[in-house]
Structure 1
Amino acid sequence: MVGAAGLGSRLDGTVSAQLMRLMVRSARAAGVDERQLDRVPGTGEVLLSGELNRLPMRSLLRLWELIAQARPGAGSGAAIAAAAPLGTLDTWDYLVTTGASLADSLRAAQPYHRLVTAAAEGFDLSGDSDLTIGYRTTADDPAVASVVNEYVLAYYLRRAREATGRPLVPTRVSFGHPAPADRAHLITVFGTDSIEFDAEADAITFHADDARAPLPRADPMLANLMRSHAELVLASARPVADPLDAFRIALAAALDAGDPSLARVAKTLAMSQRTLQRHLAEHDTSWRDELDLLRYERAKALLDQGNSTATVAQRLAFSDDRALRKAYHRWTGTTPTSRIE
């Protein structure tokens, strides 16, 4: 069961790369300027492409702010859910759709909510018969919170419909924010005019018959497998807590691509070389030192796997195997050949 104190503290204040990818796409669709996106930490392609990367919650909240500013009013949150088909949020999406029933799926998935977002973002389930899903965002700005909560409730309605294979209609939808001037779009999205505003909680409720009906896609073995996978994903997650974490991920990707230059890494991180060097200096390191350490660790692993010095030199972007041998002697006082022997 997820819940170790060490794991919780390590992932506190972070969200999944999958959710961040969805939000970056949504920000672009809402018309947010690319220059504004570039200034949001954790939105670079190399960071978003790492399935195990955990990005700062503050960056997610900034994206929500930009979307709320670019597309204010009712409907902007629901539009994000409409652009997120099953599988968008990876493991979480399948956890909430493969149980015996909708209620069983959500209750089994609840302990793994950190797969998607930070633990501080509240995900609640209640009801002895009808099933109510509640959400509490940490966004302080009411205008931003209204977009977040609209997305979340629309997301769970979409997943419920995908899980059951039926156009479910909730018995009740409630929002903590005031009623918009025009509710027509929300009535269309949720399929009901039973929408309450200025409520005590942001929540969506499903009738007991819908919540407990057997799911067509129910698969007990897959559900157990997804929970095991969720444990593994959480245990293997890589928090990107500061610029140094982001730099190391970008540097490793650049080395894989054969060009670990300062210029390439800085461009990947959407910052100037001077700014990147300053960030590294604040952490008592440098591009050259980090590249040297990464090459040393990679060289040891590749040589242990039986690769030739020529192959290792090429993989680590050395000019030739002579340059690798020279670096290896500096690192260890020995030669790569003696290590292999």
Structure 2
Amino acid sequence: MKNLIYISLIGLFLITSCKKDDILTNGATLPFENNNIKIELVTTSAPLSIRDIYFFNASTGFAVSYDGKIYKTTNNGITWDLKYTNPTVNQPFFQILFTDANVGYVVGGSNSCGGTGCVPPGGLILKTTDGGNSWSKILQTSSFEEFVSISSNSSSDLFAISNGTKGRIYKSTNAGLSWTTIDSLNFNLHKIFFADNFGYCSGMNGKVIRSSDNGTTWTLNTTFTANYATDIKFINGNGYCIADNQIVYKTTDNGNNWTQSLNLQSRSFVLNPLTTNSCLVFGEGVYSGGDFGTWSGKIIQTTTAGNNWTETELKEIEPIRYTSFYSTTEGYAVAGSKLLKVKVK
């Protein structure tokens, strides 16, 4: 009988040991690695108030901040050099886009301000032609408007979306020299994204509008049961969209049909489809508890085209809100003042 109990305890120990990765997934520490992903801490001193990052490769990247600054790194994100400071106060930056190694754009602005009788600074678009070393303003709009996202189509046309009294889509066919409003909507927009000859805009009331002619015309594509749709990205006709920072929807036919792929208890902020089967969703994990507690970071991963997902909670970091992948397997993620290197196996 004693031998039977002893053998049973050994078996229980072996089973528990085999589940080590599963236990680490709930409250993992850095560096973290399993069979599908590797996550390393690069620095705890990333620029403050980051609102977007863009990396060309492992060494060179940019960050834009809410306080109107543009930073550049050339040593894998370890240190950052300030390249531009917005001379207009209270006019934050929201997104950065490079169309080649030299030409890039930053969008931002504010359609509100504090105090009685104040005038909002409005929206702006900046451009660089020397790889981000210097920047100049190419568009300034009215006081009650802010640009929140920018993208380019397969014909190298630029598209930027703004919010103010209406949601608007701007287009430039000459590398930002001039801009035309091509659509105006009665709801705010969040993100614009192009893939192949299709364009997509997510926005309030769970709405997604789509262009099937490379951005010339736009129509309502779908309305999710949600207050808002946020991040939206596509690859090879497969797309994902986050609704209410909680539900992830998926399409396999360029947005003709959408199905729910993931419903989370905690919030998600940004997603990155890397291949037809591989996608990462970044957000927050559990709350530490108490009146002054914090949320941890979380990465949700699928290698089966959204059919199954695994979660990795990182208890040492804040929620992950901004990412940039320069290949189908490698990229960076920002969690507060921490920069992470992410490798998908």
Structure number having the greater helix percentage: 1
TM range (shorter): under 0.3
Q: Which has the larger radius of gyration?
A: 1
* Larger RCO: 1 or 2 (CA < 8 Å, sep 6+): 1
TM-score by length of 2: 0.21
TM-score by length of 1: 0.21
